[in-house]
């Protein structure tokens, strides 16, 4: 099976698919700043810096050779900001337009496998949305598909990260990959298991020998706030009154995760593109007075320690936070290979469609 990773970013999906045994021939992303991270860590894969709205399939085809379309996987994990609960307004073209373009590629090429990943809100857009048009395209093109909201922690990712995923196939009845962690299965992985090996550093410090083990600098007032935040899951509700932000005054109880610390023995909260900042979520280190480092964030996204990120710290945080967790992608890849090769897989397709006759 050979894959094209649309919207590949830093390569979380690509790396997971490669680990599973799926060959990835091409990654496509409009942000050329991801190129160095992607290419250096995935040297066997070509990187095409182009907006999918401006690319023709002939440009993609040259990277694939004469592949049987049944063995082709199109994976589309479009940027999810327009549907994120943390971004209610979207004044520019977003995932809807991108998913529409991806749908056109699927319709033109008819790859044997299609995989998409996004935030759950993609399915809740009112009206005849791009998502619903995409589903109709799959049905019209003879795909069977299964879809649902999964939590990455069920697949060995030490993070509470709920995502919508869809697997569509031609000639095979698909299912979602079975969970591997949870009640009656393996225990969920925790923050402690994932980042405890990294040596102590201070806020604003870069470790001398561990790549990307750098923590953002913190202002004096925020450092004082962090010192008053209890270790191992504490939050701003423990602060003395003189440290409380104006927006949190008058007994305001919302958004207690902001400026909070992670728990050692639980999965981390969902990481975003600002996961290196204590003011943007529960991204404080469980016991050190700093935010988690970029290396620790990458580990919570299940990138191995030798997967090095390049660019400014701000952009590296975006690369990490936007990535598909490697372990989730690996389980999807293995499951797709098992399905295509005829191995038994748990679950059944909830939505079955055949190409209309005539």
Residues labelled catalytic:
80
The two three-digit tokens of residue 324, written as one number: 């598909």
Helix (H, G, I), strand (E, B) or coil at 150: strand
Phi, psi of 10 (to 5 degrees): -80, -10
Residue linked to tokens 């004082």: 224
Give the separation between CA 293 and CA 101, rounded to whole angstroms.
Answer: 36
Give the separation between CA 182 and CA 277, rounded to whole angstroms.
Answer: 29
Give the separation between CA 346 and CA 323, rounded to whole angstroms.
Answer: 27
Distance, C-alpha 161 to centroid of its chain: 8
Helix (H, G, I), strand (E, B) or coil at 321: helix
Give the H/E segment covering residue 260: none
The two three-digit tokens of residue 332, written as one number: 């999807």
Count how many residues are written for the chain: 358
Give the separation between CA 53 and CA 75, rounded to whole angstroms.
Answer: 16
Give the separation between CA 139 and CA 135, rounded to whole angstroms.
Answer: 6
DSSP string, 17-60: HHHHT-EEEEEEES-GGGHHHHHHH-TTSEEEE--GGG--HHHH
Q: What's the angle, vertex CA 112, arms to CA 109 and CA 114, rounded to 5?
A: 85
């Amino acid at each position: 099976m050979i894959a094209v990773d649309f919207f590949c970013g830093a390569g979380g999906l690509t790396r997971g698919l490669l680990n599973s045994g799926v060959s990835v021939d091409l990654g496509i992303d409009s942000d050329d700043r991801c190129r160095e991270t992607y290419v250096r860590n995935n040297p066997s894969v070509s990187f095409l810096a182009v907006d999918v709205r401006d690319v023709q399939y002939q440009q993609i085809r040259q990277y694939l050779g004469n592949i049987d379309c049944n063995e082709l996987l199109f994976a589309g994990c479009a940027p999810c900001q327009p549907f994120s609960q943390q971004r209610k307004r979207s004044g520019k073209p977003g995932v809807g337009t991108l998913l529409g373009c991806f749908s056109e590629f699927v319709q033109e090429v008819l790859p044997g496998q299609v995989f998409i990943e996004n935030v759950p809100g993609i399915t809740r857009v009112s009206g005849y949305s791009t998502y619903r048009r995409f589903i109709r395209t799959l049905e019209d093109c003879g795909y069977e598909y299964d879809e649902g909201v999964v939590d990455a922690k069920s697949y060995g990712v030490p993070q509470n990260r709920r995502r919508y995923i869809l697997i569509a196939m031609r000639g095979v009845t698909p299912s979602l990959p079975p969970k591997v962690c949870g009640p009656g299965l393996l225990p969920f992985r925790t923050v402690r298991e994932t980042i405890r090996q990294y040596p102590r550093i201070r806020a604003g410090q870069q470790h001398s020998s561990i790549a990307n083990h750098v923590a953002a600098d913190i202002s004096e007032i925020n450092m004082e706030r962090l010192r008053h935040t209890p270790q191992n899951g504490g939050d701003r509700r423990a602060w003395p009154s003189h440290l409380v932000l104006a927006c949190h005054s008058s007994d305001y109880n919302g958004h207690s995760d902001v400026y909070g610390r992670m728990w050692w023995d639980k999965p981390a909260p969902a990481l975003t593109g600002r996961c290196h900042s204590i003011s943007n979520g529960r991204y404080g280190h469980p016991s050190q007075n700093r935010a988690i480092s970029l290396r620790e964030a990458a580990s919570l996204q299940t990138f191995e320690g030798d997967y090095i990120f390049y660019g400014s710290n701000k952009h590296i945080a975006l690369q990490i936070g936007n990535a598909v967790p490697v372990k989730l992608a690996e389980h999807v890849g293995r499951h797709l290979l098992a399905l295509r090769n005829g191995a038994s897989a748990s679950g059944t397709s909830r939505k079955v469609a055949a190409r209309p006759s005539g």
